[in-house]
Amino acid sequence: MLTVEHLTKRIGQKMIYENASFTLPAGTITALIGRNGAGKTTLLKTLVGTYLPTRGRVEWAGESIHDVPATRRHIFLVPDSVVHYRQMSLGELIGFYAAFYPAFDRPYIENYCRSANLDRSRRVTALSKGQAQLFLLQLAFATNAPVLLLDEPTDGLDRINKRDYLKQLVSLLAERQTAVLIASHQLEELDSLADRVMTIEHHVVKAPKTLEDAKSSIQKWQVVYEEVPALAHQDIQVLGQTGRVLNVLVLSEAGAAYLEKTQPLLKDPLPVQLEDYFLGTFGGDQDV
């Protein structure tokens, strides 16, 4: 199990995140969500050892992954860009990771290259975005690392490749009891995959909660009025309006009490999705 204790990262004078503490248990998929620029990628790179923390520790089996480099063979990061591998061919990348990960399954990745008609002498950056991303995802599976960190893993994949990859990921989790942390804005995908959700905002990384607990923390209603009121309450968000019918998120008991006082003609509950939790948690005017 990967354990994170009081992890803090500052770059120059800018605090990226501070005092983050959580675990990534085997056999779980944790969604990491936040606004653009919140620090998701920096957090993943610190967890895999690419960045040194300003304070705190990332441990595998009680050993720091920053102080004991050999512990990093238990973690693999699929980055959000292939630019990191711009000087390497597919074959060189396979050889590099095969030498580092003791349980690396070379036949698996070589069979994938043959089935996908990928020339191992080609540079990674010579592939299309979708081809490169699929190759890196298959390379991640080939490492047999017990912890996978995925940064926008389905970006660039077409619908069929995305479907097949997600099936593979679920199968991998069941067979190997891999711990997976996914940073993504593809909230519909995460809704169908994740067991837990973790948020990062204003350099605060909140401890993971189950997806069920996260969704149950807010309410979603369709309400109908004779005359639509302004709904001026900080814990109510209007998602959409069609005539006298509104879809709203209610973020607290105070918000629920306020909604009742507006005396809607009709109020029906709607299922809460991860996207609703995202909107309810972050809101605001920043870029998503």
- Binned at pLDDT 50, 70 and 90, residue 166 comes out as confident
- Which single residue is written with the structure tokens 């995925």? 150
Instruction: Indicate if the pLDDT at residue 26 is higher than 90.
Output: yes
Q: What proportion of the chain, given as a percentage, has pLDDT over 90? A: 80
Contact 83, 133 (CB under 8 A): no
Average pLDDT value for residue range 73-85: 88
- The domains of the chain, with CATH numbers, are 2-213 (3.40.50.300), 219-271 (no CATH)
Which pLDDT score is estimated for 122? 92
pLDDT digits (tens, 9 = 90+) for 121-130: 999 888 888 8
Show the tokens assigned to 42.
């920096």
Average pLDDT value for residue range 164-185: 89
Which pLDDT score is estimated for 286? 39
Per DSSP, which regions of the chain are E strands? Answer: 2-11, 14-24, 29-33, 55-60, 63-64, 75-78, 147-151, 179-183, 196-201, 204-205, 209-210, 219-224, 236-242, 245-250, 266-269
Characterize the bridge pairing of strands 147-151 and 179-183: parallel
Average pLDDT value for residue range 86-93: 90
Put residue 263 in one of left, alpha, beta given phi > 0 → left and psi -120 to 50 → alpha.
left
pLDDT digits (tens, 9 = 90+) for 229-239: 999 999 999 99
